[in-house]
Structures are given as structure tokens and as C-alpha cells.
Amino acid sequence: MNANDISLTQVDVLGNLLAQIAELTKAADAIKDGIKDAASAGGDKVVEGNLYKATYIETNRSVVDYKKLCADLGVSAEQVASYTRTTAVFSVKVTSR
């Protein structure tokens, strides 16, 4: 059977689009990593192309380790549960066949 003989469904089109996005994201991330590596090693922080400009920005991000915090404060899992809110989340997972 030839691939051109297959009738594509919306799910097939979605899967193909997501595969293309994954490849494009991988290529974009590789370029970003190159820019980050060069800029963090003392290179240009702004790289200009003919159509676009990329700017390297360094920031600090802080994240609270709530599990350690709870352990240090003696907060039980049940106490954490009483402050936990649950909401419904809907998603579509696509896998190849």
C-alpha cells in the first residue's frame, strides 16, 4: 500500500502537524542554545538577522521546595491536602500507530 493511498483523518493531520512542530521546536532550540552559549561566554547579547533580532537575557528564578518546607515546618500530607485545590484538566494525547 502506498502512503498516497491512505485517506487521512483529522487525527492523522493533527499527529502529522504535532510531529512537524516537534521537529521545528528541536531545530529552534538548537539555534537558541547556540546563541545562549555564545552570549554567556562573553559574545553578543543581541544578534540581528535580516528579518529578526534575538536578544539574550539572563534572569534569576526562585522556586520554593514546598515538600522540604513542609517537612521542616512539620506540616503533614493531610494538612497540605486541606489546602489543595483540584480542577479538571482536559487534553488530547496523540501517539503514532
**Domain residue spans of the chain:** 3-60
The confidence band for 96, taking pLDDT boundaries of 50, 70 and 90, is confident
- Which letter does DSSP use for residue 74 in this model? T
Q: Which of 58, 76, 59 is nearest to 67 (CA)?
A: 76
Q: Per-residue pLDDT for 67 more than 60? A: yes
pLDDT, residue 3, reads 62
pTM of the model: 0.71
pLDDT tens-place string over residues 23-38: 999 999 999 999 999 9
Q: Residue 85 has what DSSP assignment? A: -
